Structure 1
Amino acid sequence: MAAPEQIPGQEFEYEALPSNYGLGANMLAGAFAGIAEHSVMYPVDLLKTRMQILHPANGGLYTGLTNAVSTIYRIEGWRTLWKGVSSVIVGAGPAHAVYFGTYEIVKDLAGGNVDDGHHPFAAALSGASATIASDALMNPFDVIKQRMQVHGSIHKTIFQCARTVYRTEGLHAFYVSYPTTLCMTIPFTATQFMAYESISKVMNPRGDYDPFTHCIAGGLAGAVAAGITTPLDVIKTLLQTRGLAQDQEIRSAKGLFNAAAIIKRQFGWGGFLRGLRPRIISTMPSTAICWTSYEMAKAYFKGQMGDN
């Protein structure tokens, strides 16, 4: 079937969901975006995790981002920067499929696609809903990833790591950080989606497919959200890596408030900002890649459906 004839003077409504554009296409676009984002930015994510560890093993203490890169390269080799990447590749595809599928459904139900106006509430609500659904799937993979990223980790594969964690700490270990993760990702995602929609409206008021707009808006939105939620990310990292900690108090951390109290007692308020720079540095291009990839895949699927 030929593409529908465009009325002169009428722009293609890129953001509007056509009747033949189903959930499956949204989820495929989301899976593509998630794998692209996490694969490209994985080394920086590893650096962030290493710098957030409160009591690292010998050789795992770094004075800054540059020192971390040079030390890891010199002592462990460049391959270490990709250790655990298989975990996020396996988990990111399905998790981001659920993430963006939920985002589009809730955004549509909340009235975010009604007209060309600005709908920050719909964007924030859809973002919060998306992260609740996707984090339930991604959290175990995130635990495995961070266990493999830690300096001196004995884990070689995701399956061996998963078996070890389950056998020694039980199923609970995969979800002990889930409440903290949600406390971080809900405000992070709500802020990011609201900022993304707002910046996009300013840069591209007609809502056309524009890779430059998606890239810049995604990067700026991610930077703002990352800076605000770094303290919660430090707490999450402590909980997800507690099984490898040498400090007994950290090994016995029970949850969000107990972990926060440990950080405050041992490192002061500055402890909540550990890894701030690599988090922002990794999040800006990460969200830029994610949104650009997602919007590109979404535009491709819409184009294909328009041609059928």
Structure 2
Amino acid sequence: MDIEDGHDYESLGANSTMAQNAIAGAMAGIGEHCIMYPVDSIRTRMQVLSTPELGTAIKDASKKQLRNHKNLWKGVYSVIMGAGPAHAIHFAAYEFCKEKFNRKLASNTKIRAPGSSFEISNQLIASVLKQRMQLRDSTYRSVRECAKKVYANEGLRAFYISFPTTVSMSIPFQSVQFATYEYCRSRFDPEGAYNPKAHMMAGAVAGAIASSVTTPLDVVKTLLQTKGSSKDAEIKTCSGFREATNIIYNRHGIRGFFRGFKPRVLTNMPSTAISWSVYEYFKWFLASEEGDKFIDRI
């Protein structure tokens, strides 16, 4: 499938505007997170279980959550509010920096753009609200109610307590994801044409690998972000990364850092495939004549 205006698809990052990249990124972020939200809810609930028998806990949790599937969508609006703006900035920064770095290095090497810092700052609060509402015993009826109660009971610090862990997880996650995606994309589609199948396959591989290597940090992040809703005194008073790590290790050993591993990978494989597929499609569409008309209308 060729671009109508005659642009080489691989050069769309340079030919498309920052606004086009941002719109494509926003659509990708919303599509990615919303479609896989129920599976992500199961992953969150598995990671905060306090029972020492991990295998039994996972089976019991899955059965209960599937019977009450409507609750798996609680907090999805926080993702929509956070993912759209965050991914718009993320992908726009990625394309901008990749083009600048590639031009400077005068090579075809794919450079991972430092867009994760934008995404971290934009999505941190949304992530806290999302995970609080995903808990099985959550009583929050809306994102607004959740935000007000968390702030009233725990203060502003509750929204940023996992910031160091989030940074330490997001940087390697995004680095691995972008590098893997670009490599797989070049292998699956050497010509660099718009190829939905290649984008989806490359995204799935990138999501699986990136989520696998960062699961231990994700478990720590989940504990910190949900500690205010915990009935466990030790978890509730946990003050940071080191203490959270000690709690997980003392109770469950190394296996504790891989709680929710399967649903995390099963979430990130299709969600990353969806994200890149949607992004590449909108990037292609917005560079076409129809896309120009769409941009003019908005």
Task: Name the structure 1 match of 2:76.
Answer: 85
3-state SS, counterpart of residue 70 of structure 1:
helix
Tell me, yes or no, if the aligned pair for 2:102 and 2:108 is still in contact at 8 Å: no
- Structure 1 segment 80-119 matched on structure 2, within 5 A: 80-111=71-102, 118-119=108-109
Counterpart among 8, 19, 37 of residue 42 in structure 1 = 37
CA contact (8 A) 2:75 2:129 kept: yes
User: How big is the shift at 1:80?
Assistant: 0.7
Whether the aligned pair in 2 keeps the contact of 1:44 and 1:278 (CA below 8 Å) is yes
Change in 2 beyond 3 A, CA 1:264/1:64? closer
Aligned match of 1:249: 234
- Give the one of 164, 175, 178 matched to 1:190: 175
* Residue type of the alignment partner of 1:87: S
1:9 maps to none
| C-alpha distance in structure 2 between counterparts of 1:153 and 1:283, whole Å | 24
C-alpha separation between the residues in 1 aligned to 2:229 and 2:291? 52
Q: Give per-residue Cα distances to partners, 1:122-180, cap 9 Å, x unaligned.
A: 13xx1xx1111111011100100000001111211000000011111111111111110
1:286 aligns with 2:277: no
Deviation for aligned residue 1:227:
0.6
Tell me how far apart the structure 2 counterparts of residues 208 and 114 of structure 1 sit (CA, whole Å): 23
- Kindly indicate whether the alpha-carbon contact (under 8 Å) linking 1:29 and 1:97 is maintained by their aligned counterparts in 2: yes
* Residue 33 (structure 1) aligns with: 28
Cα distance per residue 1:76-111 (max 9 Å; x no partner): x32111111111011111111111111111111211
Match of 2:119 in 1: 134
Secondary structure in structure 2 of the residue aligned to 1:253: coil
Q: Secondary structure at the match of 2:191?
A: coil
SS in 1 for 2:102: coil
Q: Which portions of structure 1, spanning 4 or more consecutive aligned residues, are displaced by more than 4 angstroms?
A: 64-67, 112-115, 305-308
Work out the CA distance in 2 between the residues paired with 1:158 and 1:307: 35
Structure 1 pair 78–18 and aligned structure 2 pair: CA distance change class (3 A):
closer
Matched, 1:264 2:253: no
Query: Could you say what secondary structure the match of 2:287 adopts?
Result: helix
Moved more, 297-306 or 139-148: 297-306
Q: Which residue of 2 aligns with 1:180?
A: 165
Alpha-carbon distance in 2 for matches of 1:267, 1:69: 20
The residue type paired with residue 153 of structure 1 is: S
Change in Cα spacing, 1:19 to 1:225, as seen in structure 2 (3 Å) is closer
Q: Does 1:21 align with 2:11?
A: no
Q: CA RMSD in A?
A: 2.1
Summarize deviations over 1:218-272 as a string: whole Å, max 9, x none.
0001101111000000000000000011211111112222211111112111100
Q: 2:56 aligns with which of 59, 63, 68?
A: 63
Cα drift, residue 73 of structure 1: 3.7
Deviation at 1:297, TM superposition (A): 0.5
In 1, distance between residues paired with 2:58 and 2:103?
A: 40
Tell whether the 8 Å contact from 2:14 to 2:99 is kept in structure 1 after alignment.
no
Q: Letter of the aligned partner of 2:92 in structure 1? A: G
Q: Cα–Cα, structure 1 residues 189 and 222, in superposed 2: closer, same or farther, change >3 Å?
A: same
Q: What is the match of residue 223 of structure 1?
A: 208
Give the structure 1 partner of residue 152 of structure 2: 167
% identity of equivalent residues: 43
Whole-angstrom distance in 2 between the partners of 1:66 and 1:258: 28
Matching residue's letter, 1:230: T
Q: CA deviation at 1:19?
A: 6.1
Does 2:44 match 1:53? no
Q: Residue 49 of structure 2 contacts residue 57 of structure 2 at CA under 8 Å; is this kept in 1?
A: no
* Structure 1 residues not aligned, in runs of 5+: 7-11
Q: Give me the TM-score of the superposition, normalised by structure 1.
A: 0.88
